[in-house]
Amino acid sequence: MGHRTLIALSATGLMLLAFLAAEASLVGGRARREVTPFYHNDFDDGDMDGCKRECHSKGCHDCQTEKIVFKPSPDKEGMSLLHSLWNCDERAEIKVSNEGRPKIGESRWYRFSYYWPENLGNGCLIAQFPTFPTKRNFKQGCNGVGSDIRLEGDGSVVFTFQRPTAQADITCSHHRIGTMTPGEWHTAIVHVKWTQEDDGFVEIWWDGKKTVNIKRQATYWADEGTAPYFKVGAYKGDPWKGAAPFRIYTDDVFVFDGDASYRDVANY
């Protein structure tokens, strides 16, 4: 085989590789764009990275050394945050960094993971999208200060959706997301547009399965001034009586721009 033939074959091979690379960069006929989260914390470096512990002064345990602590992740490599609540405590949450906090009318993706070591029959709020401070009386709805995700004592995970409707300033509904199995990691992905217009939506996936799909309705109040911030962890409200401590691990907290796709967020 002559040198010219080898050169021709080499050129053909390079062209083929270039073609395959171009095809691989297309998704659904469109060029794939690189997606970078506004915020991500895997807690492996033992740094809160802009997140803020929130434990409330009513508690009787130290926030940094007892209620929200870095621990080796159960059943996987790296570190996680362990949130613990005793009977005398109210909350052990982290307020996620404001990097990427949306404006009213914008959409965001949120991704976060949980590990529930044991079920003591107690549930609590494990994620919140609060509007605070606010003049609204959420006792007219489901209490709290906005929408949230709740872990029930039987392991059910429920989205509590509070928003304005034509019938009332605060309307509340409950949407089952999935089941939290003790001793296993679970991942939630939430896609929401925060708006009082009728183009709002809420989509939630639990362990890769889409279980909530709310379309074409208001999700928030335009006169609140700012869209909600984002919290994960454990929140009980007033101290409760029962088996304690309630414990849950959180890990891999993300916030993405609303223009990302589910595939972008799930595979990042």
Amino acid (1-letter code) at residue 51: C
Q: Please tell me the least confidently modeled range out of 28-37, 44-53, 81-90, 204-213.
A: 28-37
* Residue 175 resides in a domain: yes
Q: Is residue 4 assigned to a domain?
A: no
Output the domain CATH number for residue 167. 2.60.120.200
Is there a domain that residue 6 lies in? Answer: no
- Asked, for residue 112, whether it belongs to a domain, the answer is yes
Contact yes or no for 259/102 (Cβ under 8 A)? no
The 3-class SS string of 46-108 reads CCCCCCEEECCCCCCCCHHHHHEEEEECCCCCCEEEEEEECCCCCEEEEECCCCCCCCCCCEE
Structural domain including 105 reads 40-267
Instruction: Return the CA Rg of the chain.
Output: 22
In a domain, 30, yes or no: no
Question: Does residue 97 lie within any of the structural domains?
Answer: yes
Q: Which residue has the higher pLDDT, 149 or 99?
A: 149
**What integer pLDDT is reported at residue 234 of this predicted model?**
94
Total domains in the fold of the chain: 1
d(CA 213, CA 190) in angstroms, rounded, equals 10
Whole-Å CA distances, 180 to 79, 117, 232: 20, 10, 15
pLDDT attached to residue 34: 79
Residue 172 lies in a domain: yes
Task: Give the pLDDT band of residue 60 (cuts 50, 70, 90).
Answer: confident
Asked, for residue 35, whether it belongs to a domain, the answer is: no
Indicate the range of 4-18, 31-45, 119-133, 254-268 predicted with least confidence: 4-18
- Calpha distance 52→40 (Å, rounded): 14
**% the chain with pLDDT above 70:** 85
How far is residue 70's CA from residue 86's CA, in Å, rounded to a whole number? 18
Average pLDDT over residues 158-186: 96
- What does the block give as tokens for 116? 């529930």
Work out the average pLDDT over 193-209. 97
Q: What is the model's pLDDT at position 33?
A: 62
Instruction: Indicate if the pLDDT at residue 65 is higher than 60.
Output: yes
pLDDT at 75 over 80: yes
Q: What pLDDT score does 240 carry? A: 58
